Structure 1
Amino acid sequence: MTFKQKKIITILGKEIKAGESRELTFGVANLHTSSSVDVPVIIERSKKPGPVVLFTAGIHGDEVNGVEIVRQIIAKGINKPKTGTIICIPIINVFGFINLNREFPDGRDLNRVFPGIKRGSLASRVAYKLVNEVIPDVDFIMDFHTGGSGRFNAPQIRIVKNSLTLDAIAETFGAPFVLYSKNIKKSFRNTCYKLGKPILLFEGGKSFHIDEKVTNTGVNGAKRVLNHLGMLSSKFKASKPKKPPVYILDSRWQRANFSGMFKASITINSKVTKGDVIGNITDPYGKFNHFVKATNSGYIINVNESPIVYQGDALFHITTKLK
């Protein structure tokens, strides 16, 4: 990747010079009590020129694992670059984070309203402000997410196909899986892609939960990318991934054929063969026990950890085609 060298960048209307450290306030809105709701934007600039990298998390307020990754990047000082600029926004949907809700108070999913409208809904206004007052001077973005409620995602990077730039940087990140997926309309990733801003979307863990292995994968991946860009401080070392990532071209959800109490018997990241027993569904009365068998061979990249499932619920996400 090649980047323009910027002596001065403008974030939220404030000019920030090389070598400066700033914490700006992203004014989201006021509560009904007139109290302001503000999101800190933490900016660290080296005196040496280099890329402008943005770390974001908490687009969905219940995805605390991503927030923890960016928190650690700040707390450990990884965000203080040797060259260039690092911007961290640990929580974008602060309303959702306070209430542990996925959506904004207006009921909208922030990740489905980008690039936003200046005088639109609350979520749309936040999206508009992020795109127009933070993104313009940014060169590269890492956005951290987790799986849905009760569904544990294997740590994975999601990118579009046919991008040599994203392929290279995803391999550098070193997550166990790289999943090729289309950009979703009106998502943050799709908007950044259209603006020509390379973005890696990280998925790992599940909502309402912090998992140490997932956070370690996210933090180590961020260090590797920063090292690749020549930005990682000499105080830190970027470890090599234990294994090269598995590239996923296609996958499918295996759903429950029965309602009942569910327990998976296979761990995340495991490779299974068609017909393997990977879980079971029972009734509360000890009269029924259905063994869930893999409908195809592949890697398990998501497991439903809910103890109760209904017929048709997604139980496992299994790869079907690899690169």
Structure 2
Amino acid sequence: MAKNLTILGESILPGESRTLNMEIAKLHTMTKLKIPVIIERSEIDGPTILFSAGLHGDEINGVEIVRQLIVQKINKPKIGTIICIPTINVFGFLNQKRELPDGRDMNRVFPGSMNGSLASRFAYYLLNEIIPNVDYCIDFHAGGASRFNAPQIRLVPNNRELKKLADVFHPPFALYSRNIAGSFRNSCDKLGVKMLLFEGGKSLDINESITREGVEGTKRLLDHFGMLNPKKSISAPDKKTIYIERSGWVRAKNSGMFHSFTTIGNYVQKGEVLATISDPYGKVEIKLKAPNAGFVINVNDAPIVYQGDAVFHLSIGLEYGEA
């Protein structure tokens, strides 16, 4: 029999389906702003996994992945408990902005404060009301400012359990990156919650390929824990995950119209022309070359760039995961 579970002051029984609402702040009209927390419990005890998105309000592709988990009933576990929060930063989602109305990036204010800024209060309630019940988490993100991320898992280096989970999720790429102070991932790590951070696509966009990678990886993870509904099938990837130990940004050397010659996931050679940057008058065209060989894991889709803008993200050190 599954253990008792209490979230937001309410008891959710084994075998029960519940949608609770976090109510942290109101709109200017005094209308309540509710953050739905969708909980599905099996009658059989097992892990509790959180699937969250929308920490940045404009990263809609992550919201779509969690929505698909709900629509396809993948969130109904064979054992254990699945919690879905499709849109954490509802204010940002409504305004199609990354930050909350106080201008703060919620992913830099954890662990937050009950009496702090709006972003800090959101972080505090998420960390204190939801996370104490969670064993594992996948937080879904997308690239910002017109920068399109290849589907990838980000995880801290030298953590065998997270490496195993990333192998199970099996994205095309996995990027080793240390926790950032004030981030959701960093706070979860300190509380003993094993988190994988999924990146894919760009802000204010929904990409079917990215959504499919997120959904299929999630099904493989649930299957690994024995939680996947037996009515759901999983796909077997035919390529190994490429683990990236180091990476670097290629920046625009001048301002102008941006013409990319490569695409996400391509392997490029050192010195290969990645793009040209030109003036609008047909007089200037400057080539932008790869500083090293590597995989292209992020491309700037903006048609116009300024000097210093990050336009490509290239891998440097590589290793390969399990087939």
State TM-score, norm by structure 1: 0.97
1:156-182 deviations in Å (ceiling 9; x for gaps): 000001111000000111111110001
Looking at structure 2, the residues matched to 163 and 230 of structure 1 have their Cα atoms a distance apart, in angstroms, of: 22
What secondary structure is seen at the aligned counterpart in 1 of 2:23?
strand
Q: 2:113 aligns with which of 117, 123, 140?
A: 117
Q: Are residues 1:233 and 2:232 paired?
A: no
* 1:60 matched residue in structure 2: 56
- Contact 2:2 / 2:42 at 8 angstroms: preserved in 1? no
Counterpart in the other structure of 1:22: 18
Indicate yes or no: 2:273 matched with 1:270.
no
Match of 1:62, as an amino acid?
D
Matched, 1:308 2:304: yes
Q: Which runs of 4+ in 1 moved over 4 A?
A: none
Correspondence 1:148-163 to 2 at 5 A:
148-163=144-159
RMSD of Structure 2 on Structure 1 (CA): 0.9
Deviation sequence 1:55-96 (CA, Å, 0-9, x none): 000000000000000000000100000110000000000000
Match of 1:293 in 2: 289
Counterpart residue type for residue 236 of structure 1: K
Per the alignment, in what secondary structure is the counterpart of residue 56 of structure 2? Answer: coil
Query: Of 257, 271, 280, which aligns to 2:276?
Result: 280
Equivalence for 1:133: 129
Q: Distance in 1 between matches of 2:212 and 2:129?
A: 31
State the 1:244 CA deviation: 1.1
Aligned to 1:247: 243
User: What is the alpha-carbon distance in structure 2 between the residues aligned to residue 9 and residue 135 of structure 1?
Assistant: 12
Query: Aligned partners of 2:125 and 2:174: how far apart in 1?
Result: 30
Partners of 1:252 and 1:126 in 2: CA distance: 32
Query: Which one-letter code corresponds to 2:246 in the other structure?
Result: D
1:47 is aligned to 2:43: yes
Q: Distance in 2 between matches of 1:319 and 1:147?
A: 16
Match in the other structure for 2:189? 193
Whether the 8 Å CA contact 1:91–1:97 is kept in 2: the answer is yes
Separation of aligned partners in 1, 2:238 and 2:211: 16
What is the aligned residue count?
319
> Aligned partners of 1:271 and 1:165: how far apart in 2?
29
Q: Provide the C-alpha distance between the structure 1 equivalents of 2:298 and 2:133, rounded to a whole number of angstroms.
A: 35
User: Match for 1:71: what amino acid?
Assistant: R
Residue 108 in 1 paired to residue 117 in 2? no
Instruction: List runs of 5+ in structure 2 lacking aligned partners.
Output: none
CA distance in 1, matches of 2:51, 2:281: 49
Distance in 2 separating the partners of 1:118 and 1:154: 36
User: Does structure 1 retain, via aligned residues, the 8 Å contact 2:250–2:314?
Assistant: yes
Q: Identify the residue that residue 176 of structure 1 maps to in structure 2.
A: 172
The residue number in structure 2 matching 1:89 is: 85
8 Å CA contact 2:56–2:97 kept in 1: the answer is: yes
User: How big is the shift at 1:242?
Assistant: 2.4
Residue 193 of structure 1 aligns to which amino acid in structure 2? Answer: D
**Of 13, 29, 32, which residue of structure 2 is paired with 1:33?**
29
1:78 to 59, 70, 74: 74
% identity of equivalent residues: 59
